Amino acid sequence: MPDTAALDRAESLIRTIPDYPSPGIQFRDITPLLADAAALRAVTRALIEPFAGGFDVVGGIEARGFLLAGVIAAEAGVGLVPIRKAGKLPRPAASVSYALEYGEAAIEAHDDLAPGTRILLVDDVLATGGTIAAARELMTTLGAEVIGTTVLMELEALNGRAVAGEVHSLFVV
């Protein structure tokens, strides 16, 4: 059972930076939360809870998803698979393109997982859902079984679940 007081405190550490990186954007800065050991521990445990014991590896989605995925993998005693932006890996085995609000992007991963490996996808934010949907497709293409997706926060107004599907969101803003 999550520690509600600890999670409330953790959520209070997320700062909103107006007009970053461009006018009209409300950037959610998780740096203060990451710097606080108790807050980081509380969110890590809450992100894992619905999936505990059901995954073999964590898939961290670039870039802030890496930070959370590393801590989750260590806490759960499992490995980590980096899901990177195109062109960042020396030997990508698969790539999936997806639409962004202002264009297109692609993510890639290595094929180091045994077929049927159960993977938990981790990212910091569910916004429009494109990155998470692409990560699911990428891992499935590589033969992994995506058992779920967990994110620190969901920007509900952007309706990312319509694209990403079911996601465990710790904080909804």
Q: Catalytic one among 62, 84, 101, 104?
A: 101
Q: Is 101 a catalytic residue?
A: yes
* Type of residue numbered 49: E
Q: Catalytic one among 28, 41, 64, 91?
A: 64
Q: Is 84 a catalytic residue?
A: no
Tokens of 20: 């970053």
User: How far is Cα 16 from Cα 105, in angstroms, rounded to an integer?
Assistant: 25
Tokens of 91: 């030997």
DSSP for 57-94, please give it.
EEEEETTHHHHHHHHHHHHHT-EEEEEEETT-SSS-SE
Burial of 161 (0-12, 13-18, 19+ CB in 10 A): middle
If you search the block for the tokens 């679940």, which residue do you land on?
A: 161
- Catalytic positions, please? 64, 101
